[in-house]
Structure formats: C-alpha cells, structure tokens
A and B are shown apart, each in its own frame.
Chain A
Amino acid sequence: MRMAQDDLATPQTPPDGIATVVQERGLRGSMRTLMTLGLRRVRQGELGPLPVILGLIVIALYFGSQTSWIFLNARNMSNLVLQIAAIGSVATGIVLVLLLGEIDLSVGSIAGLTSAVLGVLVVYHNWPWWLAIIATLAVGAAIGAFQGAWFGLFGVPAFVVTLAGFLAWQGVQLRVLGPNGTVNVFEPHIDNIAATYLPTIWGWALGVGVAVTYTAANLIKQIRRRRAGLSSQPLAVLLVWTTIIAAISLGAVGYLNSYAGVPTAGVVMLGLVLFFVWVTTNTKFGRYVYAVGGNIEAARRAGINVTAIRIWVFTLSGMLAAVGGLIFTSRLTAASTQTGGGTFLLEAIAAAVIGGTSLFGGRGSVWAALLGALVIGSVSNGLDLMSQPPEIKYMVEGGILLVAVTVDAISRRGRAAAGR
C-alpha cells in the first residue's frame, strides 16, 4: 500500500530510505505545481468556475447575515434546491447551445407549452402519467429538432429561429390549454416529483455513490495513465480533490437530510447535469460540440457533420426545456398560461452564462448550469426572504448577468493578450 502511494506520488520510484522525504516533497511540490498552473490559467483568462464559486460564497454570506442566517438553514436550502430544479435542467440545454456558439430563446416557451401538453394529456385525455411524461419529452425534443433543422439546413440564424419559436410556442401553449386556461394537475406521480424527498438512507447512498464513483473513476484513470507511461496526477492532488468532492456531496446530503431529505426534483436535475457532463467530456458527440463552437471550419474539414451536431444540440435543448416544464407542472400542480413565461427564459440563459459558459462558443462546462442556477436561485430566494419587491429582484438579476458577461468578455481579452 505504502509503495503504491509512493508510486503514484512521484514519477520515479524512490529508493526505500528516502521514501518519506520524497513523498513529502512530492506532496508539497505537487501543491506548488498546482498553484502555479492555476495562477497561470487565471492570468491567461481561463477562469473556469472560480469566479462563480467566489460569487456564491459572497451571496451566501450576504443573505445569511441579512436574514439572521435563515437563508442558510436546512429548510431554506431544501427549498432552494426545489426552486432551482427547473432552471438548472433548462440551463443544461442552454449550456450545450452556448458551447456551439449559438443561443436558444425558445426554451421558456417550450417549457410552458410542454407543461400544457402534459396537463391536458393527463387531465383531459386521461393518459397514464408515464405515457404523458414520455409524450411531453418527445414534444420538447421534436420542437427542438424542428428549430435545429431550420437553423442547420436553411442557415437562418438560431437567434431568429428561436425568437420566432419564443412567440409561436407561447401561442400554441395558450391554444393547447384552451378557453379554460389553467389546468390543475392532481396526478400523484407527477406531483410527487416536486413534493417528495429521498428517504434518508437513499440520500446517504446517493452522496456516498457520487463520492465513491468520482474517486474510483479518477483513480482508475490515473493508474491506467501511469501504466501507459503517460503523465499522471500526483496522489496528493487526487486526495485533495477526492476530499473536496466527498465533503461537498456528503455535506449537502447530510444538511438536506437534517430537514426533510434530498428533494426528488433536485435529484432529477443533478442526474441530468452529471449525465451531460459525462457526454460533453467523454463522447465523440461532446467533443464535436466543442469543436464546432471552437472553429466551425476546422470541424467541417475534420469531417464532422456540423448540421447534424446542430440539430442534435437543439433537440436536446428542447427536451431539457420539457423537463423544466415537467418540474414546473409538478411544483405548481398545474399547467397555467403563465408557466415558462416572465423572466424564466432570461434566468435560464443567465444561469448558464453566470456559471461560466462563454457566449462566444466552445468554452465552458455543463457544471455551469448547476452553479449558475444556484446563483440565480440564491439571489431570488434571498431577496424574497428580505421581502424585497420583484422590481428589486429584476434589477439585481440584470446586474449580475451583466457582471457575468463582462467577466466572460474580459477573460476573453485576457486570452487574446496571452496569445490565445
């Protein structure tokens, strides 16, 4: 075991006598390397999730102090998770679209329309809940595919196609709901998505599962890299990350369990985020999304079917918007004419950008959806706790979006200055 550690910590296996010293030097050395690399990346404008994590800490402390720490208590955090489930899911789709260097303005309307479809199918047509959910997701995907095809095949800018969709799908939503307007959805399975919590033990299983999977996957990867004779992370760095991930996942589960448990809707959102993190970083499709967003001409010459990638991404965006519609329906136990309207679209886009996805394409990660949704959700939740009126909320959220985009633009300049 000891040897194995040393083996991972230092590139060359040290002679027995100096193993401890070398390991310590390995640890310190690797931390130093990590710091230098990190600093260099920051200076060159590769900020990653750093600004948003700092922002979250500031937001948490501010609202905590302003609400005699009610903001941070377990009940409110549980509530916050429920509030951001829809935005986080929809923002996941937006991140994919932004990675292409495009924008999807129709996701709010798609969420509203799919919510209406779900309500009408279950209530007026008595469809079984599971079939109605499948149909709802299919409608979202079909709308996305239609818009993606219009953009990909005819070359109409995505901005315009989805702006048309923004209006049109809202119209369809009103038509589907019919003259009665709001449909109350009292279907236990659907309502339970936003009304139930994981049993304590399952919550713990989830937290442990995330931590163990992360550690195991990373460890296997590093061992295989070493076997292949490639550079690998020192064990110390691996340990630090494992500790951080374990602390976050177990800490979050423990805190939420101290109130009512992990909200089911939160699990849905987290599952989607994790799945798309995997897809974007580990599959050909994900690689091609980044390539198209980075240099479309290079992608085309590499034989990538750019049109197909575009259509797929918009299809996914539509489907994830439908997931948002589903979560909305569940939370409100109704499909209303207002669902998906108001500031929802802008909040979803803001979440993706605030989370660190570049508007210029090719840079960012799906994690941005989760982090950004947390920021937007926290601000909204915190201002509500401070009993601030909606106008203040709008102004603050607008300001945060502007700051996030400015950080993106300035870091892009930083990259240019560093020759990137």
Chain B
Amino acid sequence: MRGISKHFGAVQALTEVDFEVYPGEVVALVGDNGAGKSTLVKCVAGTHAPDGGKIVFEGREVKIASPSDATHLGIETVYQDLALCDNLDVVQNMFLGRERVQRLIPLAVEPLSEIEMEKQALGVLESLRVTTIDSVRTKVASLSGGQRQSVAISKAVMWNSKVVLLDEPTAALGVAQTEQVLALIAQLREQGLGVVVISHNLAEVLDVADRIVVLRLGRRAATFERGEATPDDVVAAITGARMLKIGGNR
C-alpha cells in the first residue's frame, strides 16, 4: 500500500501511509487509540475505500471497493467480534456462505454435503495444528474464547487466502489461550501467508511479529525489524516521545 489517505469529514484518519506485508511474514500494526490502525485495515479489507494512494497486490495495482473484492484477491479479515454464529457448529461456521452441496438435481435439489465439509474442516484444523477442539460438531457457543478465535482464523485461511488480517486476536483471552492463538499465527507464517496483527499487547507483538509498524496520528511513525526493538522503543514511537525511521522506506 502506497500513500494511503483517508478522511472522515474534517478528520484526517490516515495521511499518506505506506504499509506492506510479504508472504510468510507476520507484521504487527500497533498504535494508540485513534492512530488509524482500524481504518488502515478496513481499507485493505474493503470496508472503507481510501481517498488517496494505491494498493499493489502481487505486483499489480488493484482496486478494493468491497469486502468481496478483498476476498476474491485472497485477503481475509478476522474482526474482533469474530462473526461466528453461536447456534451453529464448527463446520457449519467455517463453511458459512460457501457450503458444499451435492448436485442431485442442479438448481432444484442440492442437499448440503456435510461429510465433505466436515472432512475438509478437519483437514484445515489439523494443518494449522488446532488440537484443542474435541469435536467439529460442537456448537460454537460452547467453545472457549481461544477455541473460537482458532475457528475464526481457520475459517479465514481455508479459502486459499494469501493475506490474513487479525484485529486484536488475543484481546479477550487468558494466558493459555493467548499461547494457542500465537502458535496458530506462527503456523500461518509457516504456511506462507502474509499475516497482519493489530494488537495492543507489546510483549505479544515482540514475541510473534517479524516486523512492527507503528502508526501515530494517521501517519507511519516507525518500523522495527524483529529483534531490533525494545518495548521502550516501541512505546516511545507510539506515544511520539521519540521519532525513529520516519516513513519507513522498505
């Protein structure tokens, strides 16, 4: 993303922000409240259309005008509220809106092919090493926060997606469950996906991210490569106490 700008009325939410994520890389997007993290993610996810700048995906310039444009490109977003149906089970949630059917009589009688979906869901969960879910036929309502997050992320990556945006994936989780989700994020990187994590938790960000991008007041304030930042540096960049590597020109 090059020079992305976005304003809401008189409020300039993003000012010429550059942002990039490469396959097999976890990028953390951090910043104080109102720094523009969510707005930036929504521009990539297709929920907001940027006012200026361009988006380059796999070497060519693309327009992302709607969430389905993003999905078609292979960009999936997991929002904080997860968007799962409590009254449906794991498989049903993972395939929601993209169910597999058997074409008994095309367009007239097309029963769901539950077996195929269940097999595929199990395959995805296994490939992501999600082992905490006993049965994929459990209603999502009875899963723990970490399990729900795992389901939401698995759902996002099972469609040949290339980039996954995670909005505060561990915000509501306990220690053990956070571990699960961080392991899952590492697993996504293993599989060659580009992962963008929005987070407030610096310890966790330093632990999992290959790169940390700091937004401040709608601008990119700093960039840290893995291992080169201390928590103090990041906090300083977030609060604006010190400016490092302004603009980030990778």
Contacts and interface: CB of A to CB of B under 8 A. Distances in A.
Contacts of B93: 298
A294 B142 contact: no
B87 A284 contact: no
A362 B112 contact: no
Interface stretch (A54-62, A147-155, A249-257, A301-309): A301-309
A293 B86 CA distance: 10
B112 A298 contact: no
Contacts of B141: 415, 419-420
A363 B82 CA distance: 20
A363 B96 contact: no
B83 interface: yes
A287 B115 contact: no
A298 B78 CA distance: 11
Contact of B110 (A283, A302, A420): A283
B97 A293 contact: no
A295 B115 contact: no
B160 interface: no
A229 interface: yes
B86 to A, nearest CB: 6
Given A283-B112, A284-B99, A287-B92, A230 B84 contact: no
B142 A419 contact: yes
Task: Give the bracket for the number of chain B residues in contact with chain A.
Answer: 20 to 34
Contact of B87 (A302, A304, A362, A418): A362
Interface in B58-109: 67-68, 71, 79, 81-88, 92-93, 96-99, 101
Given A228-B115, A283-B110, A290 B97 contact: no
Contact of A44 (B79, B81, B115, B142): B142
Given A297-B81, A297-B83, A301-B67, A420 B96 contact: no
A287 B96 contact: yes
A291 interface: yes
A418 B141 CA distance: 9
A362 B101 CA distance: 22
B68 A303 contact: yes
B86 A301 contact: no
Nearest to A420: B141
A282 interface: yes
A302 B112 contact: no
B135 A362 contact: no
B87 A363 contact: yes
B96 A304 contact: yes
Contact of B85 (A231, A290, A419): A290
Contacts of B85: 290-291, 294-295, 298-299, 362
B119 interface: yes
A413 interface: no
Contact of A229 (B81, B119, B139): B119
B16 interface: no
B111 interface: yes
21 contacts: A228-B118, A228-B119, A229-B119, A230-B118, A231-B135, A282-B111, A283-B111, A284-B112, A287-B112, A291-B92, A291-B96, A294-B85, A295-B83, A295-B84, A297-B83, A298-B84, A298-B93, A303-B71, A362-B85, A362-B86, A362-B87
Interface of A: 44, 46, 221, 224-225, 228-231, 282-284, 287, 290-291, 293-295, 297-299, 301-304, 362-363, 415, 418-420
Given A44-B142, A298-B96, A299-B97, 20 more contacts: A228-B115, A228-B116, A229-B119, A230-B122, A283-B111, A284-B99, A284-B112, A287-B88, A295-B85, A298-B82, A298-B83, A299-B96, A301-B67, A302-B83, A302-B97, A302-B98, A303-B97, A304-B97, A419-B142, A419-B144
